[in-house]
Structure 1
């Protein structure tokens, strides 16, 4: 990602910050109403975490979270939210350009991997590979379904095709959005 993109995201997050405090903790979009699917703690990765509402939600549920975003302004807002919610010690914030992959310190395995509104098909196998046995993957991306094609939009069936090696619990494509909730296989002894 070019420095201009980082500056653009910082400016966007600054504008949101000036409009008021960060949104409170909330589950990822693809899990709303299905929060029971989330394991009861462990390690989690929040990719493109923005201002940290999902990372803080995960931390409040007992996870130790690695939260990654390109915007340092967004990460500062997330760290503030985590402190206000009493889980500041449960989230590590990583300023990192995701176009270069994930930070080297984000090695997994993770019991939950979440990514909202960031699409990079090159990262799909990496995200699946970071899951612990029975780990949960939760993705939401922009989609061409019911919307126009575009470089940032997934083609129909993209998520289901990319994560076919996982057990798909829920897959929806509509209104310009695609969601996938999937679980890694259990290790059997």
Structure 2
């Protein structure tokens, strides 16, 4: 990502603050399918509301985002909710790929799309791990350079066991498992 993009994202987050810890609404019907222990990776975590929610459930979470402003806000949110021992954040340019780390019991990616990362996301999932991903979509919206085409997520993650998926109103989402879950 260019320095101009990083500055743009810092500007979007400046002067705004995270709300309470929460799972993105699109994944709420699948909250019981999400693991409550193990490692989690929150890709493009923003203010960290989902990361902190996951840590409160018992996961050890790494949240990554290109915005230094967002990461600082996420660190503050984790501290205010007493989960800094299970929730850490890092400034990462995802154009360079996913950061190194252990296999993840959960990978959450909300409203960030980079199809070049899809194979790495599958590889990073632990056996039985769960992926929860949502992206902007052409379905029900005007096409655009940052929007997924119809069927993109289901095709990209066809090797996983799909627990739920949908496309409408400019959003596509998928919740899937990598093999059998314990």
When the two structures are superposed, what TM-score results if normalisation uses the length of structure 1?
A: 0.93
Aligned length: 182
- Residue segments in structure 1 that go unaligned for 5+ positions in a row: none
Contact 1:26 1:54 in 2 (8 A): yes
The match for 1:75 among 46, 56, 71 is: 71
CA–CA distance in 1 between the matches of 2:175 and 2:25? 10
Alpha-carbon deviation of 1:158? Answer: 0.2
> CA separation of 1:167/1:50 partners in 2, compared to 1, >3 Å: closer, same or farther?
same
**2:159 corresponding residue in structure 1:** 165
* Superposed structure 1 runs of 4+ greater than 3 Å apart: none
My pick for the range that moved more, 94-103 or 110-119, is 94-103
CA RMSD between the two structures: 1.4
1:28-177 equivalence runs, <5 A: 28-103=24-99, 106-177=100-171
CA distance in 2, matches of 1:155, 1:183: 22
Deviations 1:81-120 (A, max 9, x none): 00110101211211011111122xx323100000011100
5+ unaligned residues in a row in structure 2: which ranges?
Answer: none
Partner in structure 2 of residue 6 of structure 1: 6
- Report how far residue 142 of structure 1 moved: 0.1
Alpha-carbon distance in 1 for matches of 2:25, 2:78: 19
Instruction: Tell me the TM-score normalized by structure 2.
Output: 0.96
3-state SS in 1 of match to 2:73: helix
CA distance in 2, matches of 1:187, 1:43: 15
| 1:140-163 deviations in Å (ceiling 9; x for gaps) | 100000111111000000000000
CA distance in 2, matches of 1:121, 1:180: 14
Measure, in 2, the Cα distance between the counterparts of 1:94 and 1:11: 18
